[in-house]
């Protein structure tokens, strides 16, 4: 009789602990993916800065400023810098949302190879699976500083204070924003919940489900994420996402605005529209 009671106690403990244990495991998996994506976002900004060093600013949509520098005037989704960032982040994109597999033709593809080809971003002769929407997930901002002559005593850098980087030497700064998908079951909604909650104190105290995860303020946080574009629902596919942003600044000891523009054939080869 005592043995049966012990068996029942063990089963009861397992029933109580297992759901929490599974939730923690999936949460750790999702956070590991986010951490990896964050490192890749920084590397994407580095690759974008490298591209900005060797291409004409017009090739990534920058416009010349009065001080001789160049800037995209905010985040953009086009040009060679954007393509460089997309190439890096395509490996963690996992998204088909917003992509028309028929290319606007309304055709039905029975050939699985052709279908897989449409779902992939091409890098030369290679294709990255499930990355067709990466162009919509990534945006870049480029700023180049070429107007020198200011020192630590200039208007921006006071006495004894180091001047901003753009006042010390020519440089280019690339910022990359990546809408990182949170697609791990259970773990994704939990991360999205804390990401969406932030420090907003106006949220109600209702306990509502958010993507299968029940938590306080869940309904309002879900609405907030959806309004920000951090929730995707298309057919049987639905997931949350969060925006990661990283930047990289590199020295630019030469001007590139005199470099020849990228040839149209090269843009076509790289998948960039004119």
pLDDT tens digit string along 205-260?
677 677 767 788 888 888 888 888 888 876 667 888 899 999 999 988 888 888 88
Task: Say if CB 242 and CB 192 are below 8 A apart.
Answer: yes
- Residue 124 predicted with pLDDT over 90: no
Q: What is the pTM of this model?
A: 0.78
In a domain, 28, yes or no: yes
Q: Find the domain containing 157 and state its range.
A: 2-98+133-181+248-269
Beta bridge partners of 213: 210
Residue 222 within a domain: no
Query: CB neighbours of 29 closer than 8 A, spacing ≥ 6?
Result: 184, 187
Q: What is the DSSP pairing of strand 126-128 with strand 63-64?
A: unpaired
Residue at 121 is within a domain: no
Q: Is residue 149 part of a domain?
A: yes
Residue 274 belongs to a domain: no
pLDDT, residue 109, reads: 41
Give the chain's domain count.
1
Does the pLDDT at position 113 exceed 60? no
State the Cα–Cα distance between residues 228 and 222, nearest whole angstrom: 10
Average pLDDT for the chain: 77
- For range 128-150, the mean pLDDT: 78
Query: Is residue 51 included in any domain, yes or no?
Result: yes
Q: What percent of the chain has pLDDT over 90?
A: 22
Q: Which residues contact 37 (CB under 8 A, 6 or more apart)?
A: 89, 92, 178, 180, 244
Q: Note whether residue 153 is domain-resident.
A: yes
CA 41 to chain centre: 7
Task: Give Cα separations from 7 to 3, 15, 157 (angstroms).
Answer: 6, 12, 72
Whether residue 62 contacts residue 254, with contact meaning beta carbons closer than 8 Å, is answered with no
* pLDDT value at residue 139: 93
Asked if residue 226 is part of any domain, the answer here is: no
Q: What is the pLDDT of residues 36-94, one digit of tens each?
A: 999 999 999 999 999 999 998 888 888 888 777 788 988 988 889 999 999 999 988 88
Task: Answer yes or no: are the C-beta atoms of 245 and 41 closer than 8 Å.
Answer: yes
DSSP the chain: -HHHHHHHHHHHHHHHHHHHHHHHHHHHHHHHHHHHHHHHHHHHHHHHHHHHHHS-GGGGT-EE-TTS-EE-SS-BS-SHHHHHHHHHHGGGT---TT--TTTTS------HHHHHHHTSEEETTEEETT-TTHHHHEEEEEEEE------TTSSSS-TTSPPPGGGTS-EEEEEEEEEEEE-STTHHHHHHHHHHHTT-TT----EEEETTEEEETHHHHHHHHHHTT-EEEETTEEEEEEEEEEEEEEE--S--TTSPPPPHHHHHHTT---
């Amino acid at each position: 009789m005592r043995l049966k009671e012990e068996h029942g106690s063990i089963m009861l403990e397992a029933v109580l602990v297992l759901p929490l244990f599974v939730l923690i495991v999936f949460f750790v998996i999702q956070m590991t993916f986010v951490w990896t994506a964050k490192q890749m976002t920084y590397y994407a900004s580095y690759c974008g800065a490298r591209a900005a060093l060797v291409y004409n600013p017009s090739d990534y949509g920058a416009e010349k400023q009065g001080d001789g520098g160049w800037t995209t005037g905010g985040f953009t989704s086009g040009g060679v810098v954007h393509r460089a960032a997309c190439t890096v982040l395509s490996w963690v994109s996992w998204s088909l949302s917003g992509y028309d597999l028929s290319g606007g033709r309304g055709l039905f593809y029975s050939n699985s190879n052709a279908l897989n080809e449409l779902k992939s971003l091409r890098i030369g002769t290679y294709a990255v699976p499930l990355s067709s929407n990466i162009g919509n997930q990534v945006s870049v901002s480029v700023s180049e500083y070429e107007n020198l002559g200011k020192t630590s005593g200039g208007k921006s850098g006071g006495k004894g204070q180091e001047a901003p980087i753009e006042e010390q030497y020519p440089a280019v700064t690339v910022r990359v924003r990546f809408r990182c998908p949170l697609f791990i079951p259970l773990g994704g909604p939990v991360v999205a919940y804390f990401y969406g909650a932030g420090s907003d104190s106006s949220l109600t105290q209702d306990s509502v489900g958010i993507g299968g995860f029940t938590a306080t303020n869940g309904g309002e946080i879900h609405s907030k994420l959806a309004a920000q574009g951090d929730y995707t629902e298309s057919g049987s596919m639905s997931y949350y996402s969060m925006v990661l942003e990283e930047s990289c600044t590199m020295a630019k000891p030469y001007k590139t605005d005199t470099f020849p523009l990228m040839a149209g054939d090269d843009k076509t080869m790289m998948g960039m529209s004119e």
